[in-house]
Amino acid sequence: MQTPTTYWARTGRVFQLLLEGVAGATLFGMMLLTTVDVTGRYFFNAPILGAVELTQLMLAALVFLSLPIVCWRQEHVSVDLLDAIFPARLVWVREVLVNLLITVALWVMAQRVWALAERAFSWGDVTEFLRIPYGYLIGLIAIMLALSALLTLARAILYLLEGIKVIKRGGPLSPGGNHD
């Protein structure tokens, strides 16, 4: 029988694989585009028109498609200046506060970027050469920022629940959890 915990774990895993797959396909597309463009440019004197624009768009998509995964796994670049002096029994408090701060920052960015996407659509902003509308990419960025904010909020809640002993095992502070 499937419990709510296993249901959400499986749902999260499927969603993670979906994002990783789309990001991987985007990276593969960038690699293929660059290879064909360079080969065409140097061997046949026929570069792919708009390859630079497409590469820029795919790079932005790749970064922001990966952001929710990085936020959930807590694999961002971090500096552990205070880890040596911070009491181990209060690590959960620090993690709750840090994740809440990150949640707020990501949510504010998501709102601002969504406003930029709406403006890009209303103004008809397009890329210079291929005339691809910017609004779709900017909207994707806003959605990925909002999703990342929700995931860091969930992370803060898990730290809190484990810190106050509602969750005994399997949280981010447990052995095998995603805490360094």
Note whether residue 92 is domain-resident: yes
Tens-level pLDDT at each residue, the chain (180 residues): 666 667 777 888 898 899 999 999 999 999 999 999 999 999 999 999 999 999 999 999 999 999 999 998 888 887 778 778 888 888 889 899 999 999 999 999 999 999 999 999 999 999 999 999 999 999 999 999 999 999 999 999 989 998 888 877 656 666 655 544
Q: How far apart are the first and last CA of the chain?
A: 33
Please check whether residue 180 lies inside any domain of the structure: no
135 within domain boundaries: yes
Q: Do the domain assignments include residue 177?
A: no
Chain mean pLDDT for the chain? 89
140 belongs to a structural domain: yes
**Residue 170 belongs to some domain of the structure:** no
Distances (CA, A) of 83 to 48, 73, 88, 113, 158: 50, 19, 8, 34, 20
pLDDT value for 178:
52
pLDDT value for 9: 76
Predicted pLDDT of residue 179: 46
**Residue 171 falls inside a structural domain:** no
Confidence at residue 127, expressed as pLDDT on a 0 to 100 scale: 93
Structure confidence by residue, pLDDT tens digits, 2-52: 666 677 778 888 988 999 999 999 999 999 999 999 999 999 999 999 999
pTM of the predicted protein model: 0.88
| pLDDT of res. 68 | 95
Structural domain count of the chain: 1
Structure tokens at 38: 């360079």
The verdict on residue 37 lying in a domain is: yes
pLDDT of residue 47: 93
Q: Which of 66, 83, 64 is nearest to 75 (CA)?
A: 66
Q: Containing domain of residue 142, as a range?
A: 4-163
- The two structure tokens encoding residue 120: 């890009």
Write down the pLDDT at residue 180.
Answer: 42
Which residues is 133 bridged to in the sheet? 126
